[in-house]
């Protein structure tokens, strides 16, 4: 029997949407700008699985002039082994030097304590009668609210203050400050407050593959990209992992064929339509959700290289909001023409 060869590349997806910049994203960003004078620190959350793709240059452009801490969330969902994690994190820290960078799993008490200690030390270094106010920003569904809730529980032992959900868009308005550290008279600090914000998407995604990565990690709603296409992209990444085919061996043997894979999943999990026909969309969404929960492998989708951030910034070429909207309209027209050509 011939050994299994995973696909070296994923087919180009020219018809994919390349924007998800919604009204409440723009409104949220405008409101954040007006709050800067009362903010001491900005925490920008990025997804550990997509350290480059979950970067939003709008934050750096719009919220400049404040100290910034970058936190890579959901570390447990991208972690492989200690040695490779350490190499990856050294590279990422170098991207942001001299600015501080932390890596967290919001379920890890140790990780949350590290963030809490950073916030306490930062507050102690600059006295304010009103306490220290920290603005938490990031792309949709990157884990901002989960981080806030974990910090609140660890810091002041109170129940969660922010709603969370599997789909993006749960937080739509900027919240009032939530206390995560009590007043400390010995240190002379007046308390630390976190301000949760709605996730803000990039106005225009530079390439279709980046859009698929953001959809896979849940930064866009599951209805934006066809579930079977997204699951095919996930299967491509699973097969790229060493021994990746073993992750789905309970359903079928090694395969690059998403239909074969999803038909096997449908039969195994009972996701069947009328007449016992496999429901591929339902099966694809189930598979994607399993991966998001860490049950189909934990790995990073972006290539983390020393010059990775520099390359990403060159790709972005300083897109303004108006340029991004123009490109989004052009991409929409191109998709319309492609559909008309297919129908002809």
Residues 67 and 124 in one domain: yes
Q: How many domains does the chain have?
A: 2
On whether 132 is known to bind a ligand per the annotation, the reply is no
- Domain limits for position 276: 226-293
- pLDDT given for residue 125 in this prediction: 84
Q: Which of 277, 293, 309 lies at the terminal end of a domain, its last residue?
A: 293
Q: Which of 180, 196, 212 lies at the terminal end of a domain, its last residue?
A: 196
On whether 15 is known to bind a ligand per the annotation, the reply is no
Residues 45 and 169 in one domain: yes
Residues 81 and 192 in one domain: yes
In a domain, 221, yes or no: no
In a domain, 105, yes or no: yes
Burial class of residue 272, CB neighbours in 10 A (0-12, 13-18, 19+): middle
On whether 202 is known to bind a ligand per the annotation, the reply is no
Sign, CA torsion 169/13/265/3? negative
| CB-based contact 208:315 (threshold 8 Å) | no
> In CATH, what number is assigned to the domain containing residue 51?
3.40.50.300
Token pair 């901002």 is found at 144
In a domain, 40, yes or no: yes
Residues 140 and 233 in one domain: no
pTM score: 0.86
- pLDDT given for residue 169 in this prediction: 46
On whether 28 is known to bind a ligand per the annotation, the reply is no
Tokens of 139: 């792309």
- pLDDT given for residue 283 in this prediction: 98
- pLDDT given for residue 326 in this prediction: 61
User: What are the residues whose beta carbons fall under 8 Å from the beta carbon of 201, sequence distance 6 or more?
Assistant: 19, 20, 21, 22, 25, 56, 139, 140, 214, 219, 220
Cis peptide before 98 (omega within 30 of 0): yes
- Ordered per-residue pLDDT tens for the chain, 344 residues: 468 999 999 998 878 888 777 777 888 888 888 888 889 999 999 999 999 999 998 898 888 888 999 999 999 999 878 899 999 999 999 999 988 999 999 999 999 999 999 999 998 887 666 678 999 999 999 999 899 999 999 988 876 555 555 555 445 456 668 888 887 666 556 789 999 888 898 888 888 999 999 999 999 989 899 999 999 999 999 999 999 999 999 999 999 999 999 999 999 999 998 899 999 999 999 999 999 999 999 999 999 999 999 888 887 665 545 555 565 565 566 556 655 655 65
Helix (H, G, I), strand (E, B) or coil at 132: strand
On whether 146 is known to bind a ligand per the annotation, the reply is yes
Query: What's the CA gap between 207 and 14, in Å, rounded?
Result: 9
On whether 144 is known to bind a ligand per the annotation, the reply is yes
On whether 3 is known to bind a ligand per the annotation, the reply is no
- pLDDT given for residue 76 in this prediction: 95
In a domain, 12, yes or no: no
Residues 174 and 264 in one domain: no
């Amino acid at each position: 029997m011939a050994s299994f060869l995973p696909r070296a590349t994923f087919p180009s997806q020219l018809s994919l949407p390349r924007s998800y910049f919604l009204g409440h994203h723009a409104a949220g960003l405008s409101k954040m700008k007006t709050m800067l004078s009362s903010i001491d620190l900005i925490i920008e959350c990025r997804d550990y699985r997509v350290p480059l793709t979950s970067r939003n240059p709008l934050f750096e452009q719009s919220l400049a002039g404040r100290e910034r801490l970058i936190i890579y969330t959901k570390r447990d969902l991208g972690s492989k082994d200690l040695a490779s994690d350490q190499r990856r994190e050294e590279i990422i820290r170098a991207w942001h030097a001299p600015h501080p960078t932390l890596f967290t799993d919001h379920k890890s008490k140790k990780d949350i304590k590290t963030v809490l200690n950073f916030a306490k030390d930062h507050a102690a270094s600059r006295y304010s009668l009103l306490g220290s106010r920290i603005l938490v920003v990031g792309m949709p569904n990157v884990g901002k609210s989960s981080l806030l809730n974990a910090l609140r529980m660890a810091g002041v032992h109170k129940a969660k203050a922010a709603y969370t959900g599997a789909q993006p868009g749960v937080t739509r308005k900027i919240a009032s400050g939530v206390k995560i550290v009590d007043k400390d008279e010995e240190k002379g600090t007046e308390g630390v407050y976190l301000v949760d914000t709605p996730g803000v998407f990039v106005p225009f995604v530079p390439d279709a593959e980046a859009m698929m990565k953001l959809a896979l990690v849940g930064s866009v709603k599951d209805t934006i990209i066809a579930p079977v296409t997204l699951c095919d992209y996930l299967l491509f990444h699973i097969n790229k992992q060493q021994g990746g085919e073993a992750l789905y061996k309970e359903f079928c043997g090694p395969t690059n064929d998403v239909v074969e894979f999803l038909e096997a999943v449908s039969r195994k999990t009972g996701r069947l339509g009328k007449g016992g026909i496999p429901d591929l969309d339902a099966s694809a969404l189930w598979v994607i959700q399993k991966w998001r929960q860490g049950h189909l492998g934990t790995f990073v989708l972006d290539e983390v290289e020393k010059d990775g951030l520099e390359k990403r910034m060159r790709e972005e070429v300083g897109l303004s909001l108006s340029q991004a909207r123009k490109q989004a309209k052009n991409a929409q027209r191109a998709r319309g023409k492609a559909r008309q050509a297919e129908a002809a």
